A and B are shown apart, each in its own frame.
Chain A
Amino acid sequence: MKFMLMMHAPRGTGEYQILSWKPEEFRAHIQFMKDLNRELREAGELVGAEGLAPPGQARIVRSHGDGPPEVTDGPFAESKEFLVGYWIVDVENAERAHAIAGKASTAPGPGGKPLGIKIEVRQVMSGPPDSL
């Protein structure tokens, strides 16, 4: 079963402002993510993972079929959070996907403390029917 694990970060609060972290805190955070990805790759579960550029660079593209598509920097859905990265994993069951998300959530932030990042877990469609 494939799942998408989406990592959400709150907008504009201190502990997620990576630029204000100390270098060793930043390094520990990156190391954690690299280790997690290596672990998933070695477990034969990683389908893909990417981090996303900050939302300031996001664009909305829209076309109604009449003329060139519009590219604007908004409006975005009103939310206090934004997507910072995702994993797609292929695992035996939902529990395993939740366990991976649980681990990703503990990525260290300032002072090496677990950030408790919010991870949204969604099943990727068109998998085989869930057998009971």
Chain B
Amino acid sequence: MNTTGEQLLRQLAPQVLAAVVRRYGNFGAAEDAVQEALAAAAFEWPRAGVPENPRAWLIQVAARKLTDQFRSESARRSRETKFVLTTPAEENVVPPPDEATVEQDDTLVLLFLCCHPALTRPSAIALTLRAVGGLTTAEIARAFLVPEATMAQRISRAKQSIKSSGLGFVLPPPEQRNASLSAVLHVLYLIFNEGYATSSGSTHQRLDLSSEAIRLARAAHELLPNDGEVSGLLALMLLTDARRDARSGPNGEIIPLDEQDRSLWNQTAIAEGVELVTNAMKRGTVGSYLLQAAIAAVHDEAPRVEDTDFAQIAALYEELLRISDNPMVRLNHAVAVAMVRGPAAGLALLDGLARDPRIKDHYRLAAVRAHLCERAGEIPLALSYYQAAAEKTASIPERNYLCMKIARLRDN
């Protein structure tokens, strides 16, 4: 199937699933039926042409699969009569294609359900990619480099958890709305991060998780256009992804922000991200995704690294620290301060972090310390911190980058 066809299917997947769940209730069974309908469309449409109302076609096929499923089960347990009796006749017909608002709410409910805090994060990620993202289990498995059977189990366990926790197909009540939304945003953020961290080297045959995350965040933004954090997350992804072509070399080696060829940055994505940040900032309440996006925007708007407004970046990190005392934010803040007031000021801020159990053994702390020592001319100290960082990181590109740093420093 061509890319447009695939895109159409992925876009329709959550709407179709939501419509089927709303009608028949059973999330797990509906999800299987929709996957079968998507597979049927991928097979049928290229030869017979895309139907006039593709969404209705998919809903109808999924409903038929679901009925078949119920029927074959009921052969043993005579569930068929019960099914027929409990389903009002009017619910067995396909709805008119103009139920736009209902459809939108449905996709949102689906997103809340797939990212429910009752699920483990790996389960929520897998289920979101499949049910909302419309990806196949095989595609998701390849993206995470695990066997397909493992991913299939993860998805089926996720569906099982939804079933056993008795979550209904309704929007979370207003008082839980914020917690639910932040769970959704966290899952999307993790998907993006996974793609960002692994999208180097010989991974081009893998599904691009960063683009999937952007697509999902865009969908969430369309559903909740006035939510600052949703705008912020989408902007953060766009502004980070804009540097994709510049941030690694031909062998997947890391090129840090200050050494990147900025002519390779995607200006369209930057413009979109900056606009999202600007509009959301005007609306008031500023959350942590929006602040992170604002920081990314300041970096992206500087034509050269020396043009970067590091004072503003430091101030934005201070805002972030006011929202939550996160040691990683504290670390980044120290880097920005070092850019404004020199490496000694940055190093002084790191001393407190060295006692924080959440970060004291993290490779990033050692890497930042090494970098600041190097800038301060303390080469032997820098070398020992780079070494400590290289021994602690679990990322191969990071380790290679740090080893290269050590080699260069020794050379000089």
Contacts and interface: CB of A to CB of B under 8 A. Distances in A.
B339 interface: no
Interface residues of B, number: 38
B157 interface: yes
Contacts of A41: 149-150, 153
B11 interface: no
A42 to B, nearest CB: 6
A123 B193 CA distance: 18
B122 A92 contact: yes
Interface of A: 1-2, 41-48, 90-92, 123-132
B397 to A, nearest CB: 7
B172 interface: no
B147 interface: yes
Contact of B144 (A42, A46, A90): A90
A129 B197 contact: yes
21 contacts: A41-B150, A42-B153, A42-B157, A44-B126, A44-B152, A44-B155, A46-B147, A47-B146, A47-B147, A48-B147, A90-B144, A125-B394, A125-B396, A125-B399, A126-B197, A126-B198, A126-B394, A127-B394, A127-B395, A128-B197, A132-B359
**Residue in B121, B122, B123, B396 whose Cβ sees the most chain A Cβ within 10 Å:** B122
Interface of A is mostly: loop
Interface in B135-151: 144-147, 149-151
A44 B151 contact: yes
Contact of B122 (A42, A44, A123): A44
B117 interface: no
B178 interface: no
B371 interface: no
A41 B397 CA distance: 30
A18 to B, nearest CB: 28
B377 to A, nearest CB: 29
B130 interface: no
B327 interface: yes
Nearest to B157: A44
B395 A126 contact: yes
Given A128-B194, A132-B327, A132-B359, A44 B394 contact: no
Contacts of A1: 394
Interface string B149-166: 111111111000000000
A41 B154 CA distance: 9
Given A125-B399, A127-B394, A129-B193, A44 B123 contact: yes
B150 A127 contact: no
B142 to A, nearest CB: 13
Q: Closest 5 A-B residue pairs measured CB to CB?
A: A44-B154, A44-B153, A128-B197, A126-B396, A123-B394
Contacts of A125: 393-396, 399
B206 interface: no
A128 B150 contact: no
B109 interface: no
B78 interface: no
A131 B144 CA distance: 17
B349 interface: no
A128 B397 contact: no
A92 B154 CA distance: 12
Contacts of B359: 132
B328 interface: yes
Nearest to A48: B147
B68 to A, nearest CB: 26
Interface string B185-223: 000001001101110000000000000000000000000
